[in-house]
Structure 1
């Protein structure tokens, strides 16, 4: 992940407020974890949104991220739960973990944070190096559908949630602009904080850029870096992929 593309992650507490309760990946990853022995490596683990629930299920987890603040928050949460998780601050394109695993995963569409060919190459090289032969690599990335890429460049309502501390409503809006040459969507997220009367009392904007990769492109890329695709789904419930899918879930095996 590019550390300069991290505005969305500068506030780990806010990140957890908006994401921590959303963990659809857990049953899927647990299903594959039962087939493999040894430590499980969470690439771009952030605040431990998925790392911590897996550790609570008794698995040996290693969480890796480049963002110091997110990792510090993850460590604090794990310590409060008395969980023994190894947290490592490293660039995921240049991993040097001194261990190998039979299962590596990267969720939350983290694959999209690697914006260049060079960073994608570095990521897949690092993951291959961290896996045993026949080890599994599971990851997801948003599907580059026409609807997803050609969003209007005007402010669009996304979703709302209730702040669990203030109990006030927060409305989220996005502005997006797609760069076809680089396959990168530039997003601005606008958070509008409302008081009990429904009046906007604060507004916060953050920017993030995400790369979209097409299925045939991913297939060629994975094979080039020593992986075969075992399964491709459109969600964590193993729904088949279609032209109308929102994301792509890959289960890959290291073959060399």
Structure 2
């Protein structure tokens, strides 16, 4: 069965579990109580809840109603609140400016073209209050991963599902260097039933030298880039670009 990655929030949360270092980075970037924070592509709330728990005034937005429903449940369970809105991060208008705008967990890679980056970054810049910060993270493109032969499956994750039992997720990647887009397919299986779910997704690869140029398309400037969520220096060995940007 072919399905979108965000159609089943329960499965998504199992394959993308909480990351304490990621949470701490974004909570620290948010700055604490009373700060106005906009979280783009907030999904099921794994960063939204820590932000709200920190005392920040949080608005979370996402295109997936399924993920937003999961986020509402999680917020209620944890006894915190955030405003949740359905919208597209590629172009949006809210009647508010924010001290911090967050785009976590590689969500920026869902943008593919220069036009989409320009639209999204311009909207982000318009919604930043004076002195505001845009915080985000993306993978560093991995040559070994992108050079895999199309169709070669690699194990991505294994986890225990409350109803399905042991679930394995395998991945294939078909990378187009002319567009810098990876066509990715995830195959979800159990020992008893084999493959029960197929999830296609396309992710844009953003190279380190390219990133500042893309930000400038929308009037933003790279302020800091770290090699991880603990603030380690960005180097040739880094697997992530953990960044903050400001209005240019």
When residues 119 and 193 of structure 1 are mapped into structure 2, their CA distance, relative to the original with a 3 A threshold, is same
What is the deviation of 1:202? 4.8
Of 174, 178, 192, 1:177 maps to 174
The answer to whether residue 20 in structure 2 is matched with residue 31 in structure 1 is no
When residues 36 and 81 of structure 1 are mapped into structure 2, their CA distance, relative to the original with a 3 A threshold, is closer
When residues 133 and 225 of structure 1 are mapped into structure 2, their CA distance, relative to the original with a 3 A threshold, is farther
When residues 188 and 23 of structure 1 are mapped into structure 2, their CA distance, relative to the original with a 3 A threshold, is farther
The 5-angstrom pairing of residues 140-151 of structure 1 reads: 140-151=137-148
What is the deviation of 1:181? 1.1
Moved more, 142-151 or 125-134: 142-151
Which runs of 5 or more residues in structure 1 are unaligned? 1-5
The 5-angstrom pairing of residues 92-171 of structure 1 reads: 92-153=89-150, 154-163=152-161, 165-166=162-163, 168-171=165-168
What is the deviation of 1:133? 2.5
TM-score (ref. length: structure 2): 0.91
SS of the aligned residue for 1:25 comes to: helix
Could you list the structure 1 runs, at least 4 aligned residues long, displaced by more than 6 angstroms after superposition: none
The answer to whether residue 193 in structure 2 is matched with residue 204 in structure 1 is no
Partner Cα separation in structure 2 for residue 233 and residue 33 of structure 1: 17
For the Cα contact (< 8 Å) 2:117–2:218, is it kept in 1? no
Aligned residues: 245
Which runs of 5 or more residues in structure 2 are unaligned? none
The answer to whether residue 87 in structure 2 is matched with residue 90 in structure 1 is yes
Q: Deviations over 1:15-72 (max 9, x none)?
A: 1222243343111122222279531110110111100122122221110111122112
When residues 224 and 167 of structure 1 are mapped into structure 2, their CA distance, relative to the original with a 3 A threshold, is closer
SS of the aligned residue for 2:202 comes to: strand
Which residue of the partner structure matches residue 7 of structure 1?
4
Which residue of the partner structure matches residue 215 of structure 1?
208
TM-score (ref. length: structure 1): 0.88
SS of the aligned residue for 1:7 comes to: coil
Q: Deviations over 1:51-102 (max 9, x none)?
A: 0122122221110111122112212222333322100111112211111011
When residues 43 and 69 of structure 1 are mapped into structure 2, their CA distance, relative to the original with a 3 A threshold, is same
The 5-angstrom pairing of residues 69-84 of structure 1 reads: 69-84=66-81
For the Cα contact (< 8 Å) 1:65–1:71, is it kept in 2? yes
What is the deviation of 1:148? 3.3
Partner Cα separation in structure 2 for residue 53 and residue 110 of structure 1: 18
For the Cα contact (< 8 Å) 1:174–1:187, is it kept in 2? yes
SS of the aligned residue for 2:174 comes to: strand
